[in-house]
Chain A
Amino acid sequence: MDLTTTYMGLKLKNPVVASASTMTYKLDGVRRLEDAGVSAIILHSLFEEQLTHEALELHYLTTQGTESFAEALSYFPEADEYNLGPEEYLKFIRKAKQATRIPIVASLNGFTSGGWVEYAKNMQDAGADALELNIYYLATDPDLPGSEVEKNYVDVLKAVKSQVNIPVAIKLGPFFSNMANMACRLDEAGANALVLFNRFYQPDLDLENLVVWPHVELSSSAELRLPLRWIAILHGRLKCSLAATTGVHTAQDVLKVMMSGADVAMMCSAIYRNGPDHVQKVVTDIEAWMEENEYSSLSQMKGSMSQKSVAEPGAYERANYMKTLQSFRTVI
């Protein structure tokens, strides 16, 4: 059974990729994911804020009160070197590469075109096989037109691409006026893959303490439909690879996104919920399903149910009205 797939030029042994999560904070987590059978690992994200905030915080908290009072001109010993965000992360990339045989994709999370994009090159130099650029941005300024927001996505991608030779994937949210147009523009700007979609953490309110309470709830298979739709629509229209993320829990989920046109399926919540060994089960189930349904390779099914390949392309568009439309056509 041939489960191999190619994602951004990386040959992968199967389509199940571990997406960025806290599982990869430690080397042990990375090893466990590999042992469980994932074909590639997206490391946890290095946040733009982490790059800036962590250094600022350390600087502030170790300098407050210093050089003020004669007996206590400082309060901390001074290290020769601090493993601040980037350095720590880069070391981790090196260790992860040494510890595994599968592709390691570094993840960079930010939105401005500031100096932080230069870390992309450091990640490449540290041995990352590819880069996932996670643009997590919520536009809240009423004076900022959508066109500028979109342009910024493209600019950041270009800025990062200019730093590296390794493939760069861009992970997006679904909230664009025209997702297809956005996807094409990013494709043209050099994205090697689109990762669809980012799952924004939504805030909740804590009524007891009257505070905003951001917390994470794991996804369910039901959430698969949004990426599935857009992958199906975009498949065959772009040069770049497509990755499905959010809602990938079972072998069926993987099969669905592959048929819709994804090159890989990224898994996170299911691993959190069931542990890394869940991946092995998913891979086995995929094989079993393919055997049962007489598929010899994954490439056979890839995009087989994309918008281009289905009998009713409109089903991916205004699906809820399909029946009405069909009746109308019939009348004509």
Chain B
Amino acid sequence: MTRPTITIDGNEAAANVAHRLNEVIAIYPITPSSNMGEWSDEWSALGRKNIWGTVPTVVEMQSEGGAAGAVHGALQTGALTTTFTASQGLLLMIPNMFKIAGELTSTVFHVSARTVATHALSIFGDHSDVMAVRSTGWGMIASANVQEVLDHALIANAATLKARIPIVHFFDGFRTSHEVQKIESLTDEDLRFMIDDDLVFAHRARALSPDRPVIRGTAQNPDVFFQGREAINPFYDACPQIMQEAMDRFATRIGRSYHLFDYVGAPDAERVIVLMGSGCDPAHETVEYLNAHNEKVGVLKVRLYRPFSVKHFIAALPKSVKSIAVLDRVKEPGSPGEPLYQDVVVAMSETMSNGAPWKVHPRIIGGRYGLSSKEFTPAMIKAVFDELKKPTPKNHFTVGIHDDVTHTSLDYDPAFSVEAEDVFRGKFYGLGADGTVGANKNSIKIIGDETNNFAQGYFVYDSKKSGAVTVSHLRFGPRPIRATYLIDRAKFVACHQSVFLEKYDMLADAMPGAVFLLNTQSPTEQVWDALPSEVQQDIISKKLKFYCIDAYKVAAATGMGARVNTIMQTCFFAISGILPPDQAIAAIKSTIKKTYGKRGEQIVQMNYKAVDETLANLHEIKVPDKLTSKFSRPPLISDKAPDFVKNTLSEVIAGRGDKLPVSAFPKDGTYPLSTTEWEKRNIALEIPVWDRDVCIQCNKCVLVCPHAAIRAKVFTQDQLKNAPPTFLHMKYKGTEFSTPDLLYSLQTAPEDCTGCGICVDVCPAKNKTEVRLKAINMMPQPPLREQERVNYEFFLSIPEANRDEIKVSQVKSSQFLQPLFEYSGACSGCGETPYVKLLTQLFGDRLIIANATGCSSIYGANLPTTPYAVNHEGRGPAWSNSLFEDNAEFGMGFRLTFDKHREFSIELLQRLEGIIGANLVTEIINADMSTEAGIRAQRGRVEELRKRLSGDPSEAARHLLTIADMLVNRSVWIVGGDGWAYDIGYGGLDHVLASGRKVRMLVLDTGVYSNTGGQCSKASPLGAVAKFAFGGKPTPRKDLGMMAINYGYVYVAQVAMGANDVQTVKAFVEAEAYDGPSLIIAYSHCIAHGIDMSRGMIQQKAVVESASWPLYRYNPDRTREGLNPLQLDSKPPKIKVKDWAYSETRFKMLTKINPEAAEELMDRAQKDTMERWRFYEQLASLDYSKNDK
């Protein structure tokens, strides 16, 4: 029987089976596994049933720990249950996993294996997470590719029901979870064939039930625990055979045959590599290649890693083997070897002592590869085989990197390739916003569906969320594609944005004779001359065929806007000739209909039109035989940059990070600040330009700029001596500064601005003669770039304003404070970053941030560059991220240190009073640091203290010198999103608030898990559609602020900058000043709301006007003056909830999916909002004046 082929990624494959074989699915989002939960949620919402005809219940929990608990409970009560997770998420499940296994419970967890954070977080793939659970007693089965994910998901489910051992089914994060492959599907009948209903009934029969009550989960003592634990042994003994039987049964029906260990290679191989996961496939193809070239090598693919069956392992290994290299995709520092290596060593050692088939113990070496999705190529695999040939091969090696510190790495020849000539390989460079990846996913599907070719697509994304560059890697060919590595010998290179030519050496990977397709706005006859000389050189020397199209022109003419995807896709099919032209066009249109049909005929027609108008605009350029270009690719980084930026970070920016050696990197994950300033991204098509005649100097634009790319300064006339002629300024209108006759300038950072336009949107000043114009107006960036670059450089050279004179609690004045958070990679128009920036302006020089994992940690610290910055004194925010779930506790740890060290410092001051002087000691201890001037004065005293102690050899003096800085106030801020604060980290947040310690918490509340792609959180508003809330969130947002207010001693503010910036700034200042814990919940508009991001602040205004986000400040200090601590800062509702909500796609889309539900939820939202509003009003009107009487 042939089954329909489907072109899907690994996550969808796993979910495809899991959703059909379970009744309960408890989930929590974590990259790269989130999609499995999302698929399941969508399918259940759409009524898709499992093989027993019922729709699985999908529930989002507050954390992976919670998901594991829910899974455990559902399993114990007899439901077929699963979950999906990765990395830290899997680690949070460990305690339950021990229990689930200890209770012999059948289940399969699907894990897209991902790096566990160590010196840095990484979302990419390796086995550090799954290896961390190998002691839980779970079975572990590894899949190497998308087909195996589908197959093993089924096999594992069949086996666990019989074996009663729970199974972790894992596959490599991103490399397999996100790789799109054409595979054969499995029908419901296939699933029914594999799953024995009697075993399902047995699973239910073991469930807890008051009708046949038992107790499970007892506490046991030394007398019996041990024996009870050993009672489980027979199940582990039987498990491998049960798994093999399931594999065999699968083979009888479906035809694909799997074994616990699958060997590929020469039957008489002398050198064998052992590994598991996605590395198996390139090892497979390399082995075939090498054996075809007279080598005798093999690869042993590990399928069932736990229970590790020594018997099956030995049986699978060729008896001719003399040397074995065991490759682990994990690093276990301090161990005698990585886990799989140790297992193999033990297996071989035991076998040798029990009468092995080898006379001489084969040599076994272990090595690490592929950490965090590091490339793993045939060249590296060959290097391992070559190493095995050596008389004394290197053990505990690494491959794929250059380790110039401890010299673990194997050398390899990057030129070595096993890729067959008949495999098409194409690389496509696009912008995230132009839809390149989506079109390429469709291309793969077209090729998969319309031809007999096997097809593969893999997509490399950006570390930035704005102006993101994507690279699509597409392969197709007549045989299954085992190349799980990036394309470096491309037959087709497409550049969908001509500016990339200045940034990336994209033709380095083009093969001689390859095709180069360029989207350019240059007229056809000028295209060649518009190329940088390096590009011309590559085209000539590699004899590339060169095509171009002005896809923007076609897109504009057909209503496609910036999305050139369909146009470039049509060019690809036209040039590649993979399908006859008519068939290709028909197939493209068919996928357009499939992809966009549900979004309306208009979208379909628009894309059809783009397809139809493409070919007339596609031109082949006759390549001259000599260079004509008058310019070279400009340097990426300024010469003025620090060495670390020039030597290391610039290589990462240029896309050459893979080539950096170990010695280039900090050893403990510590990186310098102020590095985004060197990464000039030039992604804005338009930038704001100042009109002095209209400006009222309110500085609102400076406040709201998400990227600190528009700034204001005051200065004196004599500071303008070296000003460029185009530098603009005007008389300053304020009075707070003591210096008379100050000038004022508002300046854009042209190369750092993302062009979001939010500054223009909030500008309140209008040109009186032409009201569409404001005091800043968006203008095209390219013609202004150089002029404004020079102006901005000069602007930065002007000294910052005197902090002592700035009225920090006023919006306008606060914006003269230097932002120490600049040019982050956050989304263009981000609603979170203005708050973070404000925080650094107000307290940046004494600020330490504990940052929960999420958007703010990603735009805050995703390499290559860091947006946190230092001031001219070298001071700035110290920043760190611990985990997602423990951020409040992490930040409290900061506070504990500072409090302890301040206390100790004071003790030491008093001990050393004789040396220091009583006056200085008293002044330091009693210093008033409530103002900027007070802080400055205290720093001066500490400096003086240092002078007086310098050279003092006493232990007390030496200690005091190391902690004296703690005598100056430290501002501890705990920052994170609502996923942290409301869900996974709530327990910690609550505890830390309850502690009464002086920590400040800033919740950047988007009401959704933004970083992982818009999953519902407890902050999601009633009626909003989100992932895991497909039918609209049925419950209101948790009132986190009110929960904190209940303590009575916590300062709480709910703010929305776009609605009331004055209140926002006040809240930050009050929160910092409060002598106890403080919490600010900051409404942050987000791309996941489905809004026009240039209008984010207007959305904030609307949410407040609808009373869905009341503004308030709760300051317990006010009760001392007999005042009500709660001040309601927003007015009674001016608009209905729906008037705000339906201006956002997250709400509106429900009216398009399920209008009745939308109406019902919106009615409830309105009612709930009004009830809450009245509650706040009443609380705020309570009379506190008589409280003490």
Contact = CB atoms under 8 A, between A and B. Distances in A.
A62 interface: yes
A83 B1145 contact: no
A52 B771 CA distance: 29
Contacts of B431: 68
Interface in B408-435: 431-433, 435
B1093 A88 contact: no
Contact of A76 (B437, B461, B605, B1146): B1146
Nearest to A58: B599
B600 A55 contact: yes
Nearest to B1029: A77
A62 B1152 CA distance: 13
Interface string B712-734: 00000000000000000000000
A55 B1010 CA distance: 24
Interface in B1134-1170: 1145-1146, 1148-1149, 1151-1153, 1155
B461 A61 contact: no
A70 B602 contact: no
Contact of A80 (B598, B766, B1027, B1087): B598
B465 interface: yes
A73 to B, nearest CB: 6
A64 B466 CA distance: 11
B690 interface: no
**Interface size bracket, B side:** 35 or more
A123 to B, nearest CB: 15
Contact of B1145 (A58, A68, A211): A58
Interface string B1081-1099: 0000001101111000000
Contact of B432 (A55, A69, A81): A69
B1011 interface: yes
Nearest to B1153: A79
A69 B1155 CA distance: 32
8 contacts: A55-B599, A58-B599, A61-B1090, A67-B470, A68-B468, A72-B1011, A75-B1014, A77-B1026
B32 interface: yes
B1013 interface: yes
Interface in B474-516: none
Nearest to B465: A69
A76 B1025 CA distance: 8
A300 interface: no
B433 A68 contact: yes
B978 to A, nearest CB: 15
A64 B600 contact: no
A66 interface: yes
A201 interface: no
B432 A65 contact: yes
Given A65-B1087, A72-B1011, A82 B1152 contact: yes
Nearest to B42: A77
A56 interface: yes
Nearest to B858: A71
B339 to A, nearest CB: 27
A51 interface: yes
Contacts of A63: 435, 438, 563
Contact of B1010 (A58, A72, A80): A72
B462 interface: yes
A249 B1107 CA distance: 38
A67 B35 CA distance: 13
A210 B35 CA distance: 47
A60 B559 CA distance: 12
Interface in A174-218: 210-211
A250 to B, nearest CB: 33
Nearest to A84: B600
Contacts of B461: 67-70, 73
Contact of A77 (B464, B598, B1027): B1027
A59 interface: yes
A216 B1025 CA distance: 32
A60 B437 CA distance: 16
A297 interface: no
Interface-central residue, B462, B563, B1014, by most chain A CB under 10 Å: B1014
Contacts of A65: 432-433, 465, 827, 1087
Nearest to A64: B1087
Nearest to B1155: A83
A158 B746 CA distance: 57
Nearest to A82: B1152
A58 B1093 contact: no
A78 interface: yes
A61 B766 contact: no
Interface residues of A, number: 38
B603 A75 contact: no
Contacts of B174: 70
A67 B9 CA distance: 14
B432 A77 contact: no
Contacts of A84: 599-600, 1152
A79 B46 CA distance: 8
Interface of A: 51-52, 54-56, 58-86, 88, 115, 210-211
B751 interface: no
B38 interface: yes
Given A76-B1014, A76-B1027, A71 B435 contact: no
B1012 interface: yes
Contacts of B742: none
Interface-central residue, B459, B858, B1145, by most chain A CB under 10 Å: B1145
Given A58-B1145, A61-B1092, A83-B1153, A69 B602 contact: no
A68 B575 CA distance: 26
A169 to B, nearest CB: 25
Given A58-B599, A58-B1152, 20 more contacts: A52-B602, A54-B600, A55-B599, A55-B600, A55-B601, A55-B602, A55-B603, A58-B1148, A63-B435, A68-B437, A68-B462, A68-B470, A71-B1012, A71-B1013, A73-B437, A76-B1025, A76-B1088, A83-B1155, A88-B1155, A115-B601
Interface in B1001-1053: 1010-1014, 1025-1027, 1030
Given A71-B31, A83-B1152, A77 B38 contact: yes
A75 B46 CA distance: 18
B41 interface: yes
Contacts of B35: 73
A51 B602 contact: yes
Interface in B858-915: 858
Nearest to B1087: A65
A67 B432 contact: yes
Contact of B438 (A66, A75, A82): A66
A82 B1149 contact: yes
B1038 to A, nearest CB: 21
B799 to A, nearest CB: 37
Contacts of B38: 77
Interface in B646-669: none
Contacts of B1030: 77, 79
B1014 A74 contact: yes
Contacts of B347: none
B438 A67 contact: yes
B598 A210 contact: no
Nearest to A67: B437
B1087 A70 contact: no
B561 interface: yes
B598 A61 contact: no
Nearest to A54: B600
A69 B1012 CA distance: 9
A61 B1030 CA distance: 17
A265 to B, nearest CB: 32
A110 to B, nearest CB: 13
A76 B42 CA distance: 11
Nearest to A72: B1013
A81 B42 CA distance: 12
A45 B1090 CA distance: 26
B1171 to A, nearest CB: 24
Contacts of B920: none
A127 B599 CA distance: 24
